[in-house]
Amino acid sequence: MAKKDSGGVDRRAFITGIGAAGAATAAVAGATPTPVEAQPTALPPVPQSYATTIGQLEQAPPSYNGPGADALHIANPGSDYMVDVMMGLGYKYVAACPGTTFRGLQESVISYAIGKMEWLSCAHEDISASMAHGYAKATGKPMAIMVHNTVGLQHATMGIYNCWADRVPMLVMLGNYADGALRSSAADWDHSMVDNAAMCRGYIKYDEQPGSLQHYKESMLRGHGIMMTAPMGPMIMVCEQTLQEDTQSRKPQPSLPAYVAATQPAPDPNAIHQVAQMLVAAKNPVIIADRAVRSQADVKNLVALAEALQVPVIDKLGRMNFPTNHYLNGSAGMASSADLILALDPGDLWSYVDRLPESIARASVRTARPDCKVISIDSELLVGAGNYQDKQRFYQADFPVAADAATTLPYLVEAVNSAMSAARRNENPQREAALREAFYLKRSADMAYAAIGWDSQPISVARMCMELWNAIKGDEWALVSPQGFESNWPSRLWDFTDYGQFHGGSGAAGIGYIGGAAIGAALGHRDNGGRLCVSLQGDGDFLMGPGAMWTAAHHRIPLLMVIHNNRAWYQETMSVQILASRRDRHPERGRVGTEIVDPNINYAKIAEGFGVYAEPQITQPSELGPAIARAIKVVKSGHPALLDIVAQGR
């Protein structure tokens, strides 16, 4: 950890000591003694399990509301009000690794908001951010994280950036000592900034540094509305130490805010009409969707659009946009023969019509037909420029529509149904037959490819995935991790039918995302009916945030973590190998620096150290099924479990 302490003196103990000494002095001088704080009698004896204590506290009403204000006490601290505002906006959780600059808020969450908010203890701020990211994708609701000034925010930045690039909301509460005269240690100075959100401003939607509680409340409402409007993204609220810890001397307006969500960006009705006409007229259209939906209702709308037109949907799987077992789930190659592409919040629009091979020449090749027209319904047009290049390469659509795709879909379905002539409807059976055939061939080919090396060692990734699906498909399940490093075998072979079953990738391909994001999503699913959650996590990703396991164990978050142990940061292994050959030297050294070997790591043993159930490391294909079954039994009992599977690279 990069955090500095305050010279070896525990700050809380130090302050408590000052208070006790002060009280004694006052008594000797004959001044009115400070009442001895009544100890809360409702508290249970110190239990062995801290988590148990938390659980009992949350069930019990607050029995102690604090003393009145005097020289040694603070009544009605501002952080209580700040937490009230958070709760008014629906925040239920705060994920955080502790840091002094937000201690006022922390104390309010854990004591003032007992039973209303839960504190999620994290071992690293990047885990907090990733956890909030995963939670928001699973529930549609933002989670708050609290981060220590400077060092905590520096730790959290990759997770915040992933969240931004994935267009997902997250509230970052950043503690701060703005007044240098109040900084009591060297560490306080080290953990202070002038422009607090500056390091993140290229990848957040909003930030504010309010100077009063009234200002805080208004900023929270403004920021929440901006954050939750598509395209969504994180916000940072800088929380002054004085606002948190001082008495609410300048009381804000008494009534707590009633947040009213704004409607999402909808398209020009004329544009909808025009898009519908173009889709109906096209001979060979395709739909490409990346972050096009946010709910199962949106999925159904997309299915309705595709079925009305009998047009394939190429799902880029930034979200689970379209059922993988629907015959209209198309293959990526279909875009190259299309005469019209409808791109729905496409992310990387350029890549649908052009390709840049990873070659020395770096010469782009148009993959779409020269006469192919492109319609893009894209909320990205509503985002201003930033320092970061996550907007991807520019492509000039023939018909760009600035709107949120999910909001647009029902209007577009209606417009298409109105535009369909009888003659056009009569074409649908023929189109359907061809698309059913294409789907059959695609899936059958993937079955055949999956069978190759089925019994191999290291274990086939396709087999690993199918053993996993076999164990979960009878339940309501969710894959709460990306699947690209598993060659997309789940989406190629599993039946994704519900939006909640898959949440896409990290957004910015920031490795270290999965551990936190998976437990955040699993927490969300636990609260929303209890899907059986599984994650596929590379060993390289795991190593960047293994502490996430402790959070899962500590908070009893049920999740099966499958470690795809290919003993490398494998993407980079392949990447360096390419250059070794292009430079015509030492291909046998292409793996130096990207392999995770010598010693080989046993992730099962690490998991046990964190208090997570684990099976012994799995190297034999025949071990997979029974081990998965045992681990799922643990997960169904409400606990996390981990399987360390030594498998093929991809």
Partner 1 sequence: MLRFKTFAIASFIAAALAAGANMLSAQTTAPAGDAKHGQQLYVADGCYECHNTLGQGTGSRAPGAGPGPNLAPAPISYAAFVKQVRTPRLSMPPYDAKLLSDQDVADIYAFLAAQPPSKDPHSIALLNVVTTGSAPDTSRGAVVFATNCALCHGASGQGGIGPSLIGESSRKDANAVAAIVKNPSGQMPKLYPGLLSDGDVTAVAAYVESLH
Residues lying near partner 1 in the complex (CB under 8 A): 284, 323, 325-327, 331-337, 357-359, 367, 369, 433, 436-454, 456, 458, 460-461, 463, 466-467, 469-470, 484, 487-488, 492-493, 495, 497, 570, 573-574, 577-582, 584, 587-588, 590-591, 648-650
Pick between residue 230 and residue 338 the one whose CB is nearest to partner 1: 338
Spell out the residues 6+ positions from residue 74 whose beta carbon is closer than 8 angstroms to its own: 66, 245, 246, 247
Contact of 193 with 541, CB cutoff 8 Å: no
In terms of Cβ atoms closer than 10 Å to its own Cβ (0-12, 13-18, 19+), residue 100 is: buried
Min dist CB 437 to partner 1, Å, is 4
Pick between residue 157 and residue 284 the one whose CB is nearest to partner 1: 284
The CA–CA distances, whole Å, from 562 to 409, 463, 521 equal 36, 13, 15
Min dist CB 139 to partner 1, Å, is 25
Residue 315 dihedral angles phi and psi, to the nearest 5°? -95, 115
Pick between residue 106 and residue 491 the one whose CB is nearest to partner 1: 491
Min dist CB 3 to partner 1, Å, is 38
In terms of Cβ atoms closer than 10 Å to its own Cβ (0-12, 13-18, 19+), residue 522 is: buried
Pick between residue 43 and residue 451 the one whose CB is nearest to partner 1: 451
Q: Which amino acid is at 231?
A: P
Min dist CB 577 to partner 1, Å, is 4
Contact of 606 with 599, CB cutoff 8 Å: no
Instruction: List, edge to edge, every strand of the sheet that includes 170-176.
Output: 118-121, 93-96, 144-147, 170-176, 234-240, 206-208
Min dist CB 649 to partner 1, Å, is 6
Contact of 587 with 577, CB cutoff 8 Å: yes
Pick between residue 122 and residue 335 the one whose CB is nearest to partner 1: 335
The single residue listed with the structure tokens 């080919």 is: 445
Min dist CB 613 to partner 1, Å, is 24
Min dist CB 535 to partner 1, Å, is 19
> Before 458, cis peptide (omega within 30)?
yes
Pick between residue 382 and residue 433 the one whose CB is nearest to partner 1: 433
Residue 496 dihedral angles phi and psi, to the nearest 5°? -90, 115
Min dist CB 400 to partner 1, Å, is 23
In terms of Cβ atoms closer than 10 Å to its own Cβ (0-12, 13-18, 19+), residue 194 is: exposed
Tell me how far apart the alpha carbons of residues 586 and 590 are, in angstroms, rounded to a whole number.
7
Pick between residue 16 and residue 457 the one whose CB is nearest to partner 1: 457
b/e sequence 490-508, b meaning 16+ C-beta within 10 Å: bbbbbebeebbbbbbbbbb
Tell me how far apart the alpha carbons of residues 137 and 503 are, in angstroms, rounded to a whole number.
6
Pick between residue 495 and residue 608 the one whose CB is nearest to partner 1: 495
Min dist CB 83 to partner 1, Å, is 44
Pick between residue 173 and residue 320 the one whose CB is nearest to partner 1: 320
